[in-house]
């Protein structure tokens, strides 16, 4: 399966626009979980989203290493969309140590098509820009994931810069 790679310079000015179609009462919120303390503060939301699964355990291990963070969009006390942030390392294509990689991004089936993924991705880019310690911000998606390509385009990444052939479970 072909994966399209997008990136922007971290200094690019991207601001969230309320004209993006988000069906909500302005009470969706964006959070980044990047420390054991923030994990504990949000543990019930994480358990609600991931259940008591192997996936949750793997995520918690990634968060403890501090090379990863998780962003979440919360609406009505539910994680509607989330994405993993990796810093300086990508298992599928080369990046610099000063780069950040977003993905995978997931949106709950009940909330798809309502703008939560776009809100989350734009908020994530703004969060990374404010930290001012990344040169580029990367994201990639499968060639058949049209919905994610639209989210990426709305989030100011523009067209794909390159691509690669993704082989499941293959790492650099």
Domain 13-137 has CATH 3.40.109.10: no
What are the phi and psi torsion angles at 100 (to 5°)?
A: -120, 145
pLDDT digit string, tens, across residues 75-97? 999 999 999 999 988 888 999 99
d(CA 68, CA 161): 24
User: What does the alpha-carbon distance between residue 136 and residue 128 come to, in Å, rounded to a whole number?
Assistant: 10
Q: What's phi and psi for 83, nearest 5 deg? A: -155, 145
pLDDT in tens, 120-165: 999 999 899 888 788 999 999 999 999 999 999 988 898 999 999 9
């Amino acid at each position: 399966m072909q994966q399209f790679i997008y990136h922007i310079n971290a200094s690019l000015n991207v601001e969230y626009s309320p004209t993006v179609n988000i069906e909500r009462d302005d009470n969706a919120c964006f959070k980044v979980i990047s420390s054991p303390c923030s994990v504990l503060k949000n543990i019930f939301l994480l358990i609600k989203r991931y259940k008591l699964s192997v996936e949750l355990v793997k995520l918690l291990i990634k968060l403890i290493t501090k090379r990863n963070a998780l962003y979440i969009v919360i609406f009505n006390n539910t994680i509607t969309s989330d994405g993993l942030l990796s810093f300086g390392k990508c298992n599928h294509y080369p990046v610099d140590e000063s780069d950040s990689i977003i993905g995978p991004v997931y949106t709950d089936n009940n909330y798809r098509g309502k703008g939560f993924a776009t809100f989350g991705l734009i908020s994530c880019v703004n969060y990374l820009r404010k930290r001012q310690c990344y040169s580029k911000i990367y994201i990639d998606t499968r060639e058949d994931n049209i919905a994610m390509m639209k989210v990426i385009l709305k989030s100011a990444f523009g067209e794909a810069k390159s691509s690669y052939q993704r082989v499941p479970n293959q790492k650099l």
